[in-house]
């Protein structure tokens, strides 16, 4: 069962990118899954209850939501600029008894609900925000929507990652520079370098960082 929420702002650039990148993102990011569910990195233990609320930023056609549903997680939100990507995910899930909320819009333009999520997951959205104003709005939404002591898992291109992806400029981060973007309200809990093999037989360096939101 899905509940839908349409955001007021929409980004044509990100819509074009998302449509071209669907096949590359139609899988579960295993590093994210391990951090969120297994708590296997950096001494961090997730201990998430199945009724904790999780949002997947730039969810695309990723099967992360499938795996979380299968494990019994009950409060899941998918956010993406592409309605088609989310529609494909919902069709794939079929008549799932899990309530899945959907938000269509650009996270650097919309405003999300306040104090709603226990876990914020973003694989490969933040590094496309090349303007400071975009990043500031993203962080505002992150702070607005996470509960106190909520966790943010953010994966971006690492220091040796590409300067462009699917024709779009990107930003590259290490754990220090990414933490600086989020600010002192977040405590960094750990990080991990990972390499993604693209459908074009190239390798992209990612850095996964996970943070605790200390103030609300």
DSSP, collapsed to helix, strand or coil, labels residue 192 as strand
DSSP, collapsed to helix, strand or coil, labels residue 84 as helix
d(C-alpha 151, C-alpha 55), whole Å: 11
DSSP, residue by residue, 50-70: TTSEEEEET-TT-THHHHHHH
Kindly state the helix (H) or strand (E) to which residue 204 belongs, with its residue range. Answer: strand 203-213
d(C-alpha 87, C-alpha 154), whole Å: 24
Both tokens of 69, joined, read 């549903």
DSSP, collapsed to helix, strand or coil, labels residue 149 as strand
Domain enclosing residue 179, as ranges: 2-213
Q: What share of the chain is helix, strand, coil (3-state, %, to 5)?
A: 30, 30, 40
Ordered mean pLDDT values, 10 residues apiece, the chain (216 residues): 35 30 43 53 51 91 86 90 92 81 96 94 96 98 95 95 93 98 95 87 91 85
Cα atoms in the Cβ-side hemisphere of radius 13 Å centred on 137: 13
d(C-alpha 167, C-alpha 6), whole Å: 27
DSSP, collapsed to helix, strand or coil, labels residue 19 as helix
d(C-alpha 134, C-alpha 143), whole Å: 14
Contact 62, 79 (CB under 8 A): no
* Nearest C-alpha neighbor of 80 from the set 99, 101, 95, 49: 101
Contact 203, 196 (CB under 8 A): yes
CATH number of the structural domain spanning residue 42: 3.40.50.150
**pLDDT score for 160:** 97
Q: Are strands 2-6 and 53-57 parallel, antiparallel or unpaired?
A: unpaired
d(C-alpha 211, C-alpha 216), whole Å: 14
Both tokens of 186, joined, read 């977040």
Can you say whether the dihedral through the CA atoms of 46, 50, 52, 57 is positive or negative?
positive
Domain total of the chain: 1
**pLDDT score for 182:** 98
């Amino acid at each position: 069962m899905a509940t839908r929420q349409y955001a007021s702002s929409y980004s044509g650039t990100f819509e074009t990118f998302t449509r071209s990148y669907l096949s590359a993102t139609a899988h579960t990011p295993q590093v994210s899954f391990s951090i969120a569910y297994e708590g296997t990195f950096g001494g961090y233990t997730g201990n998430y209850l199945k009724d904790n609320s999780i949002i997947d930023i730039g969810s695309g056609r990723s099967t992360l939501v499938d795996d979380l549903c299968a494990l019994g997680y009950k409060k899941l939100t998918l956010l993406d600029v592409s309605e088609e990507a989310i529609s494909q995910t919902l069709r794939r899930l079929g008549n799932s008894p899990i309530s899945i909320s959907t938000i269509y819009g650009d996270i650097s333009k919309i405003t999300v609900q306040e104090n709603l999520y226990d876990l914020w997951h973003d694989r490969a959205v933040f590094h496309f925000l090349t303007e400071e104003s975009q990043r500031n709005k993203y962080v505002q939404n992150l702070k607005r929507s996470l509960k106190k002591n909520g966790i943010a898992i953010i994966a971006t291109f690492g220091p040796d990652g590409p300067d462009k992806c699917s024709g779009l400029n990107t930003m590259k981060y290490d754990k220090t520079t990414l933490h600086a973007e989020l600010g002192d309200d977040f405590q960094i809990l750990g990080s991990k370098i990972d390499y993604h093999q693209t459908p074009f037989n190239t390798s992209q360096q990612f850095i996964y960082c996970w943070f605790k939101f200390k103030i609300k």
